[in-house]
Amino acid sequence: MNTKLLHTVLFAWFRKHGRILPWRMRELSALYKVKKIGKTKVSVLRDSTIASYFTTKWNRDPYTIIVSELMLQQTQVDRVLPKFESFIHKWPTVHDLSKAKLSDVLIEWKGLGYNRRAKFLHEMARAVVHTHKGNFPKTEEELRKLPGVGEYTARAVLTFAYGKDIGVVDTNIRRIFSRIMFGTEAGQTNISTKEFFAVIDQSVPSGKGDPWNQALMDFGALVCTAKSPKCDNCPLQTVCIANLSAQKHGFRNYADSLAAKNKEINAKKVSATKKIPFEQTDRYFRGKVIDILRDGPQHMEKLYQQMEHDYTLHDKKRWGNIIESLMIDGLIAIRGSTVSLA
């Protein structure tokens, strides 16, 4: 595909439909401005903010980028927004977070799930302060040595904090490129992961890595979505290989083709396996233990009785395994017969 065409089309879409998100701002004061003004002025602010991404070299705080990225892992943006604002107000710098107790961080994390992310974030802050003297590394290799920072998060920091022209390959961006360039879903292409990353890196326009990755993320979240892509409203529908292929096979667009395929897959899954409700999984019970302990330490037996009564956990062996796993992950501490957040 012609990358210049891709840039032109998606940048035009982004200027009109891009989202205002607090971690994209230089400072949170811009977020408060959004809350206080009317809808018409919000539109004006959005337009001017997005326009500035193209005209100004944005160097954001790596700390706020990492906080947002860890919060956003497997969590919807709408759930993250209020928690991000609250978290940054409580610990505005990496130095502030490094001084916090893990138990306080876990309490603040309530509502986001996957509590190990909070622990990684806390460990990351301490590593930056104690190992790097408060300065975040500036290479992907060194960033990935920080707790909780993988390839994606490291690339996000390099792009959004340091202005590097590289691809930030999240699930949205994988999905977009898989569909428009290879005509399939992410993970089903015939090229290696290394080759796939190279394709995405080569698509980044010089000096525009920041707005380009933001545009792709928003496009994947709002148009080229996972289950119900809005192909009728897609500005790339006439060049998207997945869409063109679907039409050749008699479908109106790729969204209809995908819906038919998913219906068939789901029917096979239902007949092959019986899905376990989330409320019966270890992850659910682990989360509830953390929720109870956010209110304060508990006697072990009393804690089990509450889990048994409120959440129908009747298997003591399973209960022991859950407690052990939380201890191994460093999320709880046991002193005598008292259980508390670590």
What amino acid positions are annotated as catalytic residues?
69
- The backbone torsions φ and ψ at residue 299, rounded to the nearest 5 degrees and listed phi first, read -70, 140
How far is 39 from 6, CA to CA, in rounded Å?
Answer: 30
**Is the C-alpha dihedral spanning 213, 214, 219, 221 positive or negative?**
positive
**Is the C-alpha dihedral spanning 227, 228, 231, 234 positive or negative?**
negative
- The backbone torsions φ and ψ at residue 91, rounded to the nearest 5 degrees and listed phi first, read -130, 80
Closest CA to 307 of 326, 293, 296: 293
How far is 237 from 258, CA to CA, in rounded Å?
Answer: 15
How far is 203 from 165, CA to CA, in rounded Å?
Answer: 10
Non-local CB neighbours of 176 within 8 Å, separated by 6+ positions: 216, 219, 220, 224
Q: Could you tell me how many residues make up the chain? A: 342
Residue with tokens 């947002």: 68
Residue with tokens 């992850």: 283
Question: How many CB atoms lie under 10 A from the CB of residue 149?
Answer: 24
